[in-house]
Structure 1
């Protein structure tokens, strides 16, 4: 079955279901008909005037029977229907033939009915001359030679079985036609119903062959197939977007790496040329050139670190209980080293979250680095952490309103910051880290000038002894 196509399996299952239903209906019809025919047969045998007293009297003498078995000249249907046999049973066990082709076998029950020992008639099935008969024996008021008598009436079961056999063949033929029709209808239905699946399969094969993620499947209606098509379109759109972002990341990373590498190569070539020609550089120039090389290497290492941070999958991260106030204090100390002429004002309250300590520290350091980078000489940076909300405010030139929607994009840099060191990945790392911790981050203008960065992290003011950190 698994080797068949889905269309063939649906057609076979449809035909099988119809076959079972038709077979059950045919069997029920046959059984009901059989029961009804048997009831009608028994009812016909129980008719009190089926064998009249006059008919029996023509066959009997007061001292015995005219005949005990049918003969060739007898007219079997002269008094009763042609398929009916009748005979009289005496209380002494003898029987007298009355009607029909067959002598009905008698038993002790017939004798007891004739002797009035059994007041009611009895139905039974017997076999005579290889033919099954349905027999009804009933008491009468007739006596033969002073011996009471009963009458037995019989009809062959073929009166029931022959129509039932014909009905069975008719039902079998109808069932066969129904199954064949159901198989044909199932094939048509499967072909029609699976046409959208065929289109989906063709699209998947086309994408696998050409890697063209811009192909879309036409979606019609709101059924399961339409939902499958919509889900597939959404999946290919997400894959196309992911591939575009990946290509953009590679292009942007290559562009950002080219600048420090070019400058580094130029400086190294200058040093190499100086050594090769024997013309030593002035000490001040050499010192400045080496400082530039060191700065470019530092910038290159920072860019590579940022790229590694962004490329890390979420699945490899281990979340622990992190004291945000301690991480913020460490980041503030690092910011003081990078901006020794700046005044950092900190108001940090205890707060614990579920996250990755190193990533959170890096994100907070990036926020403070931006504040240090854009603060004027001798300026102030205000850092506050209260009930899970961390704010970093500087007094720099601020960010234009039209540039605010782009601040968290990878490699995006403000026009006023292009001359400053940096890769444009810092705020992207901040946004990703905060989102992974279940929080939110935003940048906006600060009252009175400058920029205000706000980070909201769900957690609690006290560290839990065990288990997850409460949220809210």
Structure 2
């Protein structure tokens, strides 16, 4: 069995909001109605008590009543309608009009008779069962000539129905008004909830549409600056980011397929020629066979490099590149220079490297420096010079090749982009893209610009220091 709280939580959000509003209004209305009822009752009771205190039975009526009770045949004058008057002597004997129900005598009434207190005010029930509000006060009744006045008390009472009936009517009126108010508040709360949650319904429909159709072009209209508008903007930003990511993924797959097709086609052609030679028994001339094998090796090397670059790019940009370490950029550059000299033995590579320590992933940083040097070697003319400098955290690599046209510079860091003049050279078009990402993850910047006198200059700037940071204290 589910408790009330679980059943409420199972309701739709708009129903819960309407129920919450109705409950809050009901509590407020009930508090206001109860306060009004109690204040009115206190005022009516106070007014009744004030009326009783201000009511005084005249001496003539009291004497006539006393004489009537003694059996003298005295006629009683008429009294105020609804007002009950009775006499009480020291023994507690009651003298009252026989047509009027008697009131019980209390201790406080006797205390007034005995002059222990001047007055008393209390509630009592008469002989007919009617609840009365009773005010008792001391008095004196004249007797015959030469006799001292008789000390007695008289009680004046009015029925509490004079208070109860207006209170009952007021209670029904307050109950009716409260009920109408609660019902109206519930309806208003439901309307407000529906109006306020309409953007949430639109967001829900948009999310369901995206989940059903995978259409990431859906956008929600944004109105205002409230939380719902903020949620709508966040959803629009999310779908835009997802659409961009999916487009990039599709573009990456298409570009990778295009780049893989060329070496695979060439490799397949060469392998088919070698296989056909073995099947037909017609030997390929040694020089041609050697050229075919060299081409196969080159295509396999290009495929391996392309697959490695694709694996590197497969990591999302937001993924942690790995533990950052303090590495010596000058040592990494020297290692990369040794590899570059092996790839371009006919080139002259000069280097001036000042010490510089940075925080980066060593393997990724070394790959980035190698890629920059490989580009310089690739585009340098035979017998050319490559100049490498590291000064205060800026590593520059300058070649004397054909350079990059100004209109192509904005595209050099895009994936698979290759200059038209470099399409016949080996490479995948991913090297500089990997370099840019590695440098950015290390908190640095990279820039390619035309070099004075021709060629291209690549500049990598990384934050660091000329001295390694001190080791943390042990223990």
- How far off its partner does 1:66 sit? 4.7
Range 412-421 or range 349-358, more displaced = 349-358
Tell me how far apart the structure 1 counterparts of residues 10 and 443 of structure 2 sit (CA, whole Å).
48
- How far off its partner does 1:259 sit? 0.6
Aligned partners of 1:381 and 1:394 also within 8 Å? yes
The equivalent of 1:366 in structure 2 is: 371
- How far off its partner does 1:142 sit? 5.2
Aligned partners of 1:323 and 1:350 also within 8 Å? no
The answer to whether 1:20 aligns with 2:49 is no
SS at match of 2:184: helix
SS at match of 1:117: coil
Alignment of 1:117-128 (within 5 A): 117-119=116-118, 121-128=119-126
Tell me how far apart the structure 1 counterparts of residues 373 and 297 of structure 2 sit (CA, whole Å).
23
The equivalent of 1:88 in structure 2 is: 87
- How far off its partner does 1:307 sit? 0.7
Tell me how far apart the structure 2 counterparts of residues 353 and 90 of structure 1 sit (CA, whole Å).
113
Superposition CA RMSD, Å: 2.7
The answer to whether 1:357 aligns with 2:362 is yes
Structure 1-normalised TM-score?
0.88
Aligned partners of 1:124 and 1:136 also within 8 Å? yes
SS at match of 2:80: coil
The equivalent of 1:470 in structure 2 is: none
- How far off its partner does 1:52 sit? 3.2
Q: Deviations over 1:18-48 (max 9, x none)?
A: 222222221222122122222222222221x
Tell me how far apart the structure 2 counterparts of residues 324 and 185 of structure 1 sit (CA, whole Å).
70
Aligned partners of 1:79 and 1:99 also within 8 Å? no
The answer to whether 1:136 aligns with 2:143 is no
Aligned partners of 1:114 and 1:150 also within 8 Å? yes
- How far off its partner does 1:228 sit? 2.4
Tell me how far apart the structure 2 counterparts of residues 459 and 117 of structure 1 sit (CA, whole Å).
102
Tell me how far apart the structure 2 counterparts of residues 441 and 275 of structure 1 sit (CA, whole Å).
51
Cα gap change, 1:259/1:79 in structure 2, threshold over 3 Å: closer, same or farther? same
Cα gap change, 1:390/1:105 in structure 2, threshold over 3 Å: closer, same or farther? farther
Tell me how far apart the structure 1 counterparts of residues 140 and 343 of structure 2 sit (CA, whole Å).
132
Q: Deviations over 1:316-358 (max 9, x none)?
A: 6422213142333322222222222333333334444433221
Cα gap change, 1:360/1:385 in structure 2, threshold over 3 Å: closer, same or farther? same
- How far off its partner does 1:303 sit? 0.5
Q: Deviations over 1:416-456 (max 9, x none)?
A: 21111110111111121222223222222233332222223
- Residues paired across the two proteins, number: 455
Aligned partners of 1:142 and 1:150 also within 8 Å? no
The equivalent of 1:57 in structure 2 is: 63
Cα gap change, 1:110/1:443 in structure 2, threshold over 3 Å: closer, same or farther? same
The equivalent of 2:293 in structure 1 is: 290
Alignment of 1:279-318 (within 5 A): 279-313=282-316, 314-315=318-319, 317-318=321-322
Aligned partners of 2:64 and 2:76 also within 8 Å? no
Alignment of 1:398-409 (within 5 A): 398-409=403-414
Tell me how far apart the structure 1 counterparts of residues 142 and 335 of structure 2 sit (CA, whole Å).
128
Aligned partners of 2:343 and 2:377 also within 8 Å? yes
The equivalent of 2:15 in structure 1 is: 8
What are structure 2's unaligned runs of at least 5 residues? 1-7
The equivalent of 1:45 in structure 2 is: 52
Tell me how far apart the structure 2 counterparts of residues 352 and 99 of structure 1 sit (CA, whole Å).
119
1:323 corresponds, among 294, 314, 327, to 327
The equivalent of 2:389 in structure 1 is: 384
Q: Deviations over 1:31-74 (max 9, x none)?
A: 22122222222222221x4433343233224xx9558xxxxx98
Tell me how far apart the structure 2 counterparts of residues 99 and 354 of structure 1 sit (CA, whole Å).
113
Cα gap change, 1:248/1:113 in structure 2, threshold over 3 Å: closer, same or farther? same
Tell me how far apart the structure 2 counterparts of residues 94 and 311 of structure 1 sit (CA, whole Å).
111
Aligned partners of 2:326 and 2:468 also within 8 Å? no
What are structure 1's unaligned runs of at least 5 residues? 68-72, 468-472
SS at match of 1:391: strand
Tell me how far apart the structure 2 counterparts of residues 241 and 126 of structure 1 sit (CA, whole Å).
87
The equivalent of 2:232 in structure 1 is: 229
